[in-house]
Amino acid sequence: MVSVPTRDWILSRKSSTIPGENPADGLYACFEKLAKIGASVVVIPCNTAHASPIYDVLREKATRSHPDVQLLNMILETCGTVSSMFPNGARIGLLATKGTHAVGVYRHYFEQYPNLELLEPDASGQERVHQAIYDTTYGIKAVFPVSQKALAVLLREGKHLVERGADAIILGCTELPLALHEGVLPCPLVDPTTILARAALGAIALDKLR
């Protein structure tokens, strides 16, 4: 077992030089275990873990210790997929946790795709989405099946993004696809976890990818 500090660390922006404080330390310990048992491709199905203060530290350690092990980047894979969906440009909405918004996980990677414009909820909208994920009484992480209250919040915030011109919406938290499925909003929904899974399969067995 490996203990990984909460991703809420990213909101307080503690020094990444303090051992055990940065989630990158725990993630690297997991990476090291996987590499030692023969993994050739490693993925992290968590959006917030790709924040630069976390992911850059992990990538540097991983590349230095195991240059032969491929560490796939879920956010880059997602941005590349969305860019391919809209080669002539698009406005892309984002539903995510406060941590993902606060450190600009997607804003950072969108800078590499000038054909894409990122739309994010305002501060109150971000808070509502965060609670729909984390609230202990109705949030997706606490209640299964997904509560009607959480679903209503997510649909409302998604519709707000569409009203602002979103051509597609990225479900920027691993739990969101449990609540939002294709067809519930009047635009395509992009699931980074599915994109990451396909990228991993393509990296190890391209002939199996459909």
Q: DSSP secondary structure string, 62-122? A: HHHH-TTSEE--HHHHHHHHHHHH-TT-EEEEEEE-HHHHHTTHHHHHHTT-TTEEEE---
Helix, strand, coil % (nearest 5) of the chain?
50, 10, 40
Beta bridge partners of 90: 116
Written as six digits, the tokens of 203 are 């990296």
Which residues have a catalytic role annotated? 46, 173
